Amino acid sequence: MLRTAVVALGGNAFTREHQSGTYEEMASNAHAMAAAVHGLRQAGWRVVVVHGNGPQVGNLAIQQDAGEPLVPGLPLFALGSMTQGMLGSLFCLALREVCGDDSPDVVAVVTHMRVDARDPAFDHPTKPIGPFFSAAAAQELAQAKGWQVVEDAGRGYRRVVPSPAPVEIVEARGITRLLDEGFVVVAAGGGGIPVTDHNGRLAGVEAVIDKDLAAALLAVDIGAHALVLVTGVDAVMLDFGTPRQRAITTASTADMRQHLLDGQFPEGSMAPKVRACLEFLDAGGGCAVITCPELAPSVLAGHSTAGTRIVSTLASQGAA
Ligand SMILES: Nc1ncnc2c1ncn2[C@@H]1O[C@H](COP(=O)(O)OP(=O)(O)O)[C@@H](O)[C@H]1O
Ligand SMILES: NC(=O)OP(=O)(O)O
């Protein structure tokens, strides 16, 4: 039986830091990510794709503001569902094109994610969305629009919104059925549309869920062997952004937990990725990888000295 890899594609890999967010840019970047997924399938993996939406959902929120009062702005969770449709479509088209005659059946599932209405994250926004701004422009926008802004991993300042922990994938059964039928499934895009129980029904809430944590939850739910987090850097670095910066190539969960405690990884970028890997491996996952699209297949196979490959401490000691 084929082993399953859940592959999470960064929203910042669809729209790169220096890009403005045009459709053509996203389509071209989607190709590189589709090629990575194609490589994994050729290596014998069954693949589920989760994509991010930070840049795109933030851009859409700015477009909503600009449309007022002619057209009413929509809530953030509705914008999340819109990005699921757009990026799901982009990725499915790119995968078909990259695979050519070898194209798999690929479907994108509109996915809702249950979160806890009492999650303290609602009072402490950490999820960066939209474009990067200079400090001065960010301050001005924060004043004018009531945004909270933070510095994002040395790349500039961005708006931040609440990012509660993903609790339950509402469409989990459907996703599993499609996988069992042999589809490449795109699911939980943008971390999933955040919903809570409200008077006996599910209702959207103002948040953007971290797609790496959503991917880890999905990977555990479906019993995946590997979690592959595809982003804009080859590897996780220690002392990132300093002259002492160096890549982590292989690590145990104990090593990564210690680096997290030491404050090596910023919130809103690398910290949730590392946490997602730890959650997956602690729940029995086989291997977690953080790397760029081009290296993903070889890092997962253990054939590359670049990229970051994490296994549970027990497995690294040969006990599992
Ligand atoms: N310790 C670190 N090692 C590598 N990259 C880091 C580190 N800390 C922060 N980063 C930044 O985090 C980015 C990945 O986070 P982000 O762009 O939010 O992810 P995504 O690709 O999922 O959208 C990297 O491209 C890099 O700029
Ligand atoms: N929703 C989410 O995690 O998006 P990014 O990957 O773009 O940050």
What pLDDT, on the 0 to 100 scale, is given for residue 255? 96
Per-residue pLDDT of 23-53, as tens digits, reads 999 999 999 999 999 999 999 999 999 999 9
| Predicted TM-score of the model (pTM) | 0.96
Quote the tokens at residue 1.
């039986």
Cα four-point dihedral sign 204, 209, 213, 214: positive
Which of 12, 29, 53, 59 is an active site residue?
12
Per-residue pLDDT of 263-275, as tens digits, reads 999 988 899 999 9
- CA 209 to ligand 2: nearest atom: 1
Q: In what order do the strands lie in the sheet with 157-161?
A: 127-133, 157-161, 148-151
Task: Check pocket membership of 240 for ligand 1, CB cut-off 6 A.
Answer: yes
Which of 189, 204, 273, 307 is an active site residue?
273
What average pLDDT values come out for the chain (320 residues) when binned by 10 residues? Answer: 92 87 94 94 95 97 95 97 97 95 91 98 96 96 96 92 97 96 97 95 97 98 96 95 96 97 92 97 96 93 90 72
What is the Cα–Cα distance from 216 to 78, expressed in whole angstroms? 23
What pLDDT, on the 0 to 100 scale, is given for residue 320? 42
Could you tell me if 287 and 309 are in contact, meaning their C-beta atoms sit under 8 angstroms apart? yes
Quote the tokens at residue 307.
């990229």
Give the closest residue to 211 by CA, choosing from 165, 153, 151, 247.
Answer: 165
What pLDDT, on the 0 to 100 scale, is given for residue 142? 97
Q: Which phi and psi angles does 93 have, rounded to 5°?
A: -65, -40
Give the closest residue to 215 by CA, choosing from 51, 82, 56, 90.
Answer: 51
Residue located nearest, by CA, to atom 6 of ligand 2:
52
What pLDDT, on the 0 to 100 scale, is given for residue 106? 96
Alpha-carbon distances, residue 164 vs 16, 208, 209, 213, 222 (angstroms):
25, 8, 6, 10, 22
What pLDDT, on the 0 to 100 scale, is given for residue 313? 82
DSSP for the chain, written as a single string: -PEEEEEEEPHHHHS-TT----HHHHHHHHHHHHHHHHHHHHTTEEEEEEE--HHHHHHHHHHHHHHTTTSPPPPHHHHHHHHHHHHHHHHHHHHHHHHGGGPPPEEE---EEE--TT-GGGGS--EEEEEEE-HHHHHHHHHHH--EEEE-TTS-EEEEE--PPP-EETTHHHHHHHHHTT-EEE-SGGG-EEEEEETTEEEE-S----HHHHHHHHHHHTT-SEEEEE-SSSSEEESTTSTT-EEE-EEEHHHHHHHHHTT-S-TTTHHHHHHHHHHHHHTT-SEEEEE-GGGHHHHHHT--SSSEEEE-HHHHTT--
Task: Check pocket membership of 189 for ligand 2, CB cut-off 6 A.
Answer: no
Cis peptide before 69 (omega within 30 of 0): yes
CA 62 to chain centre: 21
Q: In what order do the strands lie in the sheet with 308-311?
A: 106-108, 184-186, 45-51, 3-9, 226-230, 287-291, 308-311, 250-252
What pLDDT, on the 0 to 100 scale, is given for residue 17? 82
Best of 211, 231, 270 for a ligand 2 pocket test (most atoms within 8 Å of beta carbon) = 211
* 53 counts as catalytic: no
